[in-house]
Homo-oligomer: A and B are copies of this chain.
Amino acid sequence: MAIRLDYRDGDFETRFAAFLTTKREVSEDVNATVRAIIEDVRENGDKALAAYSLRFDSLDFAVTPMRVGAEEIEAAYSDTPADLIAALELAAARIEKHHARLLPKDDVYEDEIGVGLGSRWTAIDAVGLYVPGGTASYPSSVLMNAVPAKVAGVPRLVMVVPAKEGAINPIVLAAARIAGVDEIYRIGGAQAVAALAYGTETIEPVAKITGPGNAFVAAAKRQVFGTVGIDMIAGPSEVLVIADGENNPDWLAADLLAQAEHDRGAQSILITDSAELADAVEAAVARQLKTLERSETAEASWRDFGAIILVPDLEKAVPLANRIAAEHLEIATADAESFVPKIRNAGSIFVGRHTPEAIGDYVGGPNHVLPTARSARFSSGLSVLDYMKRSSILRLGPDQLRSLGPAAITLAEAEGLGAHARSVAIRLNPSG
């Protein structure tokens, strides 16, 4: 049973505020272990990687090479059922098309006094993509990370994936092939992150590392940040559903459970103005849990972090939604479109009764890597921008320097930066 909050209760604000700050993750402190692993890889390169793979993945690089060969990738692609390949290709095409619209445009111009200014966007030279092993190895995540990188124009996209006894989920390899990943290595954990950041004999270093991973991978990404860029560190997933009374409770229950099945720390929240719907959804959740493969996970998530919030009218849901700042926000109301402009904080918004969040996980087009744990208040989902950087450009001639120089000198002198002032003044008075 999820918790219930009622807007009309006297202690609602207190309970809602407490609910907002509920911790859904225990963060293991693996920093010391990770630091040692990174040092080891920096010092011993491939040798260190080989030792870790033997130890953690029962994988001997003398037998199975660290780099996945082209034939193996082709074989995985050929062995993947046709309907799955078609689904991956549909997803990749839609992701590519949507992300291409997010490509920033260079802007080089001259202002009214003839100063040349510019913003020039370039792709990052080389990016590493971490893909988890085992059950968390999602082909859809490969597409969501790799396709935007390729749309951005990243010339070298390197994937790492841990491989127990050398085996990699063939669908992951098929997805990597479809997305255009350039190199794939059978390594994982903090050691893979270290290899991407610092390079080894076999692996050239990259400039940025993206993709999800366990506590060791997350800690390693934090530690190598600065040497390379990293993406956000994602927490457990969450969905907020705003629903009027006219919904099919079974549809909403399925959506809440789709989030809950991800992780025991996932969170599913329903806000509705209908007490009847609230009860019906709660009952539908209980019913659907019985026939769910991942019922244990989903049940724990719904029990520990699920919530149903009753509001007197759906307008009241808007400020609550903006405070929750959910990763995924479903609006299942008759006038769903009219809610959208009022939403300030949400990773992704799913509009109307026929847009289950799961469509966005796979084939919608927008990215499914989204800000969790209320970070939609200050950050955005993954996009081409995460694989690019901008250089600003400034160009003055003698006339422009005469026009702007004196103000720069005034400010530099006020800040006590004499060499700054001189570097301008010396060009204004070449004789001085």
Contact = CB atoms under 8 A, between A and B. Distances in A.
Interface of A: 83-84, 86-88, 90-91, 97-98, 101-102, 104, 107, 109, 111, 115-117, 119-120, 122, 124-125, 135, 138-140, 171, 207-208, 226, 228-229, 233, 248, 250-251, 254-255, 257-258, 260-262, 288, 292-294, 298, 322, 336-337, 340, 343-367, 370-371, 373, 375-381, 383, 385, 389-398, 400-401, 404-408, 410-412, 414-424, 426-427, 430
A394 B350 contact: yes
Contacts of A380: 389-391
29 contacts: A84-B411, A87-B411, A90-B404, A101-B107, A116-B351, A207-B377, A229-B378, A257-B419, A258-B422, A258-B423, A261-B419, A292-B418, A294-B418, A351-B393, A351-B394, A351-B395, A355-B395, A356-B423, A358-B423, A359-B404, A359-B408, A359-B424, A362-B407, A363-B404, A363-B408, A366-B392, A376-B391, A380-B389, A381-B392
A394 B349 CA distance: 6
Nearest to A261: B419
Contacts of A364: 115, 117, 394, 396, 404
A360 B84 contact: no
Contacts of A344: 122, 125
A390 B383 contact: yes
Top 9 closest pairs, chain A to chain B, by CB: A229-B378, A366-B392, A351-B395, A254-B423, A87-B407, A380-B390, A257-B419, A358-B420, A356-B423
A104 B133 CA distance: 37
A119 B101 contact: yes
A112 to B, nearest CB: 10
Contacts of A91: 407, 411
Contacts of A371: 389
Contacts of A355: 394-396, 401
A354 B412 contact: no
Nearest to A259: B419
Contacts of A422: 254, 257-258, 288, 292
Contacts of A208: 377-378
Contact of A419 (B84, B298, B385, B430): B298
Contacts of A424: 356, 358-359
A203 to B, nearest CB: 17
A88 B366 contact: no
B378 A412 contact: no
A36 to B, nearest CB: 17
Nearest to A127: B378
A416 B348 CA distance: 23
Given A229-B378, A248-B430, A355-B396, A407 B363 contact: yes
Task: Indicate the member of A109, A358, A423 with the most B CB atoms within 10 Å.
Answer: A423
B420 A261 contact: yes
Task: Indicate the member of A381, A397, A418 with the most B CB atoms within 10 Å.
Answer: A418
Contacts of A426: 250-251, 254
Contacts of A377: 124-125, 207-208, 229, 389
A388 to B, nearest CB: 8
B84 A117 contact: no
Contacts of A354: 396-398, 400-401, 427
Contacts of A135: 416
